[in-house]
Structure 1
Amino acid sequence: MASLGPLTLLGVCDGQIDGRYRTSYLTNKLGGRPDWSPVPPPEAPRCPRCGARLAHVVQVYCPLEDSPFHRNIRLFACPASECSGRPECWRALRSQCLEEEAAAGTPCRPAPPQEAPLPATHWCDAADDWGEEEEEEEGGGGVEEDQQEAAETICEAVTGIDVSSRLQDLSLGESQEDVPVLGSFFISVVEESDLGGEDDDLQHAQELLREYERREGVAVGELECGGGGEEEKYEKTKARHGDAVFSRFMKKISLCPQQILRYCRGGKPLFISKPPPNLAQMVSACGSCGASRTFELQLMPALVSLLRRKDGGAEVELEFGTVLVYTCTKSCWTAGSGAAVEEFCFVQADPDQQLFK
């Protein structure tokens, strides 16, 4: 999902991820457990406010042009009702690994160092040896044939299981029982510039937009801002409730209202409400190298309805308008590092949540 100039990429929800599918750090997905590469942190991140484990929300594979690194950004959030929507209860972690490390077969989720689990093929190779000591001690006649038949049966059963998907539920030295897991889906990527036509859904979105214009007494089309600097001239066109920023937001997403993610490294974020005037000062420098940060991606309102527990009820776990992620302009990284770099999240609440339900 690398960005070229002003190119904006949109993420839309695709098929559900279950035990039939393998995922890796190359996978764009929402929910589930993160696929770390090359080495995961020792435990799932915790909420700084309540101390609970954070749920994995989104994993984005986003290598940079002319960079030797594979690169991921993963977002985590606290699903507790008193924490949902608070910026401090979100965390964005960036991890990278050299392409030659991945080509050499460095595992995405290595096993605990004290005991490396064998893959299914190794289990089957060793199955022929099961019970040999017992056979030598007992000297039984038909035991070898019975054991061989049993080994073959077990081998067939094991090779039919996606063991890697089971191993993804493990991590280094921690219990996963208290880590909330959200339902997982693949994320497909499209270029915003390719969305020229209107199908029935898009036509319906345009009709809703026209109704919004009539109700609020504002021509949303006038809210599109040209190039210029950092500050958008939101005041030129005002809706009756004074929220011209939200009107522009609605106009911008009308071509693809089902988008759950926008990616445009170095581009301009799409605010859902007027940002604070000191936002540039709020976006802190990179805590790893001290470089400034730039906008890279944001989560969109359509994602909210998909964030439900994997095996729980139908209640939505998180509420937000948009979550903007700013990352290190240098994308600093030390080869061989096992610690993810934390980036900056800015969260805006949805000023009119019912429009997305």
Structure 2
Amino acid sequence: MASLVEPVPLLGLCDGELDPKRYRSSFQTNKVGGLPDWLPLISRPRPSCGLCGAPSALIAQVYCPLQAAAAHHRNLHLFACSRGTCSGRPESWTALRSQSLKAEVAAARGPSRPPTKQEPSPAATDWCEQADDWGAEEVQEEVREDEESSQSEDCPPACEMLFSSHMQTLSLEEETEVHIFRPLFISVVEESELYEDEEDLEHAKELLREYEKKEGAVMAELEESGGGAAENYEKSSAKHGDAVFSRFMKTISWCPQQVLRYCRGGRPLFISSPPPSMPQAVPRCSSCGGSRTFELQLMPALVSLLQRTEQATGAELEFGTVLVYTCTSSCWTPGSKLAVEEFCFVQADPDQQLFQ
């Protein structure tokens, strides 16, 4: 039976530059930009733009194990084409989900370090269902220190050779083809922590409920009326602004710097009106044929932080929000080395239309 408790949104905030000279990121690192870190057993895919065919750049990497599958490591990698002609169009985005059994990853890594120096692994409840801390700062700091100190002692020779070979391949092939964005750490805070106290939180929720009820009544009246009502609604919208966009701005006003919003199984935050057939617009899982559920979305504040590491000309990536829907059961074939492609729903920033 599905839980009646609304999942608590977790907000991702950029937390400083991930300097590759000081830190070596891993698949457990939450970050923006840089090069993707894959689970050891996963074949390294090279996603490309569905419009122009150019190699896609990594936009965000999220480590997000599920409580229901605590024995698995689980990642989401989001890629996009940074060419101006493709930017903002859904065909230029790719979301890949990968999973591996923790026991298999441990075996692939080889002999571990002494127990006192083991790399901390975030608990499943730190991330998704019933999460209360999506990226504890103390854990993140320990991971950074461990990643830095373990560059020479943590990996066996075979692992070091593989890593070195991979980096050489990337430097010779990928960096000449893919636009790489400056890597940044992502730290996470529970949305409710942004309110000063419970009274503020309840007051904010009540205001939002009243607002949604009011706007819902307007939309219902619009749907029941004919074209004349639509024309009147367009005129009123021009006066007070788009209702959906207004709700979006009200919701993020407590933390406008959020770059990522995670709420698996919760309600997405649309920046503009979604199509009436939104449930049908989300295709079923390409792997198992099951339904998909909303998991996370990228937010407008991320756009200004996406800075290329190389000298490149042309338009930067632009979007309003990118919603990612993943397999409800997070299906996975044991021993599989292939990442599963999930669904991205892209909405442009409404303000961009003013300049077109």
**Runs of 4+, deviation exceeding 4 Å:** 119-123, 162-168, 170-174, 220-223, 231-234, 236-239, 313-316
Indicate the residue corresponding to 2:351 in structure 1: 352
Report the identity percentage: 57
**1:265-280 aligned within 5 A:** 265-280=264-279
Q: Which amino acid aligns with 2:34?
A: G
Cα distance in structure 2, aligned partners of 1:349 and 1:30:
20
CA contact (8 A) 2:41 2:105 kept: no
CA contact (8 A) 2:83 2:315 kept: no
Question: Any idea what the Cα deviations from partners look like across 1:50-85, whole Å, max 9, x if unmatched?
Answer: 110000000011110031111011100000110000
Q: Which amino acid aligns with 1:78?
A: C
1:37 aligns with 2:35: no
Deviation at 1:194, TM superposition (A): 0.7
Question: Any idea what the Cα deviations from partners look like across 1:205-242, whole Å, max 9, x if unmatched?
Answer: xxxxxxxxxxxxxxx8676437xxxx965638964255
CA contact (8 A) 1:53 1:178 kept: yes
Deviation at 1:302, TM superposition (A): 0.1
Q: Which amino acid aligns with 2:35?
A: R
Cα distance in structure 1, aligned partners of 2:23 and 2:348:
34
Deviation at 1:182, TM superposition (A): 0.7
Indicate which of 59, 62, 75 corresponds to 2:61: 59
SS of aligned partner of 2:336: coil
Segments of structure 2 that go 5 or more residues without pairing to the other structure are: 111-150, 198-206, 221-232
Residues 195, 342 of structure 1: alpha-carbon distance in 2 compared, 3 angstrom cutoff: same
Deviation at 1:42, TM superposition (A): 4.4
Deviation at 1:24, TM superposition (A): 0.6
Deviation at 1:48, TM superposition (A): 1.6
SS of aligned partner of 2:109: coil
Indicate the residue corresponding to 1:9 in structure 2: 10
Indicate the residue corresponding to 2:212 in structure 1: 225
Indicate which of 219, 237, 258 corresponds to 1:235: 219
Judge which range, 305-314 or 28-37, deviates more: 305-314
Q: Which amino acid aligns with 1:31?
A: G
SS of aligned partner of 1:246: helix
Cα distance in structure 1, aligned partners of 2:210 and 2:173:
50
Residues 232, 282 of structure 1: alpha-carbon distance in 2 compared, 3 angstrom cutoff: farther
Indicate the residue corresponding to 1:262 in structure 2: 261
Q: Which amino acid aligns with 1:279?
A: M
Cα distance in structure 2, aligned partners of 1:7 and 1:286:
25
CA contact (8 A) 2:41 2:100 kept: no
Residues 70, 247 of structure 1: alpha-carbon distance in 2 compared, 3 angstrom cutoff: same
Deviation at 1:22, TM superposition (A): 1.6
Cα distance in structure 2, aligned partners of 1:324 and 1:122:
37
Query: TM-score with structure 2 length normalisation?
Result: 0.70
CA contact (8 A) 1:272 1:350 kept: yes
Residues 167, 332 of structure 1: alpha-carbon distance in 2 compared, 3 angstrom cutoff: same
Deviation at 1:38, TM superposition (A): 2.5
CA contact (8 A) 1:33 1:168 kept: no
CA contact (8 A) 1:223 1:248 kept: no
1:91 aligns with 2:75: no
Cα distance in structure 1, aligned partners of 2:10 and 2:108:
30
Aligned length: 280
Residues 172, 315 of structure 1: alpha-carbon distance in 2 compared, 3 angstrom cutoff: closer
Cα distance in structure 1, aligned partners of 2:153 and 2:189:
38
Indicate the residue corresponding to 2:76 in structure 1: 73
CA contact (8 A) 2:81 2:93 kept: yes
Q: Which amino acid aligns with 2:337?
A: G
1:48 aligns with 2:50: yes
CA contact (8 A) 2:31 2:185 kept: yes
Residues 223, 54 of structure 1: alpha-carbon distance in 2 compared, 3 angstrom cutoff: farther
CA contact (8 A) 1:285 1:292 kept: yes
Indicate the residue corresponding to 2:330 in structure 1: 331
Segments of structure 1 that go 5 or more residues without pairing to the other structure are: 108-118, 126-161, 199-219
**1:188-203 aligned within 5 A:** 188-197=187-196
CA contact (8 A) 2:38 2:44 kept: no
CA contact (8 A) 2:82 2:315 kept: no
Deviation at 1:284, TM superposition (A): 0.1
Structure richer in helix, relative to its length: 2
Cα distance in structure 2, aligned partners of 1:186 and 1:165:
21
Deviation at 1:102, TM superposition (A): 2.3
Query: TM-score with structure 1 length normalisation?
Result: 0.70
SS of aligned partner of 1:49: coil
CA contact (8 A) 2:84 2:314 kept: no
Deviation at 1:106, TM superposition (A): 3.2
Which structure would you say has the larger Rg? 1
Question: Any idea what the Cα deviations from partners look like across 1:233-288, whole Å, max 9, x if unmatched?
Answer: 56389642551100000000000000000000000000000001011111000000
